[in-house]
């Protein structure tokens, strides 16, 4: 068996003992979350603790909250998309869609949530009003409105 294409120097998480976070982020990645998302997680944890629920969800929430880095919205309005912003885009046929850039642990809270690490989230971040981006389905869309 040939070993010509095996990389021995790759330090895979499984091999190194490092584990992915409960959020599914790679080892060492910062777990960003909006203040709104962190508050929702804390409220859920508080309700579970009030009912003395000894569940896996309590442990999961404690681990998530211990790992998050809360990102506050910018002080001044911006024409650029930032973490936590809600963005309205319009495709070439005139169809509009709205997305909110959020952390991986708060996707369930936002109907239009898009993870900041997803391809669409990365395309939106730091784009400006008027810029064209590529949507997940391959369509191009123009950023029409940004709301912090």
Tens digit of each residue's pLDDT (9 = 90 or more) over 42-61: 999 999 988 877 788 899 89
Mean pLDDT of 128-138: 93
The residue with greater pLDDT, 113 or 17, is: 113
Q: What is the pLDDT of residues 61-72, one digit of tens each?
A: 999 999 999 998
Distance, in Å, from the CA atom of 143 to the CA atom of 99, rounded to the nearest integer, reads: 11
User: Which of 2-16, 62-76, 95-109 shows the lowest per-residue confidence on average (mean pLDDT)?
Assistant: 2-16
Predicted confidence band of residue 12 (pLDDT cuts 50, 70, 90): very low
Report which DSSP code applies to 26.
P
Residue ranges of E strands in 4-139: 31-34, 68-71, 86-91, 96-102, 113-115, 132-134
Range list of β-strands (E), the chain: 31-34, 68-71, 86-91, 96-102, 113-115, 132-134, 140-147
Whole-model pTM: value is 0.76
DSSP label of 105? G
What is the rounded average pLDDT for all residues in the chain? 83
**For residues 123 and 133, is the Cβ–Cβ distance under 8 A?**
yes
Provide the greatest CA pair distance for the chain. 61
Q: Which structural domains are found in the chain, ordered by start?
A: 30-71 (no CATH), 86-147 (3.10.50.30)
H helix or E strand, kind and range, residue 44? helix 35-50
């Amino acid at each position: 068996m040939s070993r010509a294409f095996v990389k021995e120097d790759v330090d895979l998480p499984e091999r190194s003992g490092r584990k992915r976070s409960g959020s599914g982020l790679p080892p060492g990645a910062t777990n960003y979350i909006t203040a709104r998302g962190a508050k929702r997680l804390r409220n859920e944890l508080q309700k579970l603790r009030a009912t003395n629920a000894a569940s896996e969800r309590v442990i999961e929430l404690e681990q998530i909250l211990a790992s998050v880095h809360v990102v506050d919205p910018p002080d001044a309005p911006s024409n650029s998309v930032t973490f936590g912003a809600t963005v309205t885009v319009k495709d070439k046929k005139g169809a509009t869609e709205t997305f909110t850039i959020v952390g991986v642990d708060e996707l369930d809270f936002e109907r239009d949530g898009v993870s900041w690490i997803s391809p669409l989230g990365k395309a939106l971040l730091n784009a400006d009003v008027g810029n064209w981006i590529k949507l997940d389905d391959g369509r191009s869309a123009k950023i029409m409105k940004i709301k912090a």
